[in-house]
Amino acid sequence: MRYGQIREYDVANGPGVRTSFFVTGCTHKCPDCFNEEYQDFNAGSIWTDEETKKIIDYLNEDVVEGLTILGGEPFQNSPDLIKILREIKSKTNKNIWIYSGYTYEQILQDKIKAELLYLCDILVDGLFINDLKDLKLKFKGSSNQRIIDLNKSTVDNIVLWDK
């Protein structure tokens, strides 16, 4: 897996101060994507155990509330992210947000993507649609996107995060 950047402190992609990282590679190709350079699966650097250790160290800082994973498309990197998140979760108990162009329903239809989803607490789902862009929205780019509380949701009952 490759990544574009790691942010030790991020206040734009979830509540509070968060650590975040951006994977590279995405086939959605949303028009006016805010991270077009991360659509390339060959962009960025190769993720190693050192990056995982760095994320764990950041997450163990008291000021950091949680981890946010963005892209690119995280769910197109599911096998590697599953391994990485298992390691992170074994060493920290911080909440995990993940962004995806896939919808919750689409993710649940794929066993490997669903396995990644179950390691997370919040999913921001749906393609970015420029015609639905709204700068007043908190933690999402367009009004079609949902912020789903995965700990409260089931296949038949989606519960939106509302804090």
pLDDT tens digits, 138-157:
999 999 999 999 999 998 99
CB 112 within 8 A of CB 79: yes
Full-model pTM? 0.96
- pLDDT at residue 34, as a whole number: 76
3-state secondary structure (DSSP) of residue 9: strand
Q: What is the pLDDT at residue 33?
A: 80
Over residues 6-31, the mean pLDDT reads: 95
Residue whose C-alpha is closest to residue 102's, from 144, 49, 54, 50: 144
- Picking from 124, 57, 125, the residue whose alpha carbon sits closest to that of residue 94 is 57
Least confident residue range of 7-16, 34-43, 49-58, 73-82: 34-43
Above pLDDT 90, what percent of the chain?
91
**Fold of the 2-149 domain:** TIM Barrel (3.20.20)
| Measured distance CA(30)–CA(27) in Å, rounded | 9
Percent helix / strand / coil, the chain, rounded to 5: 30, 25, 45
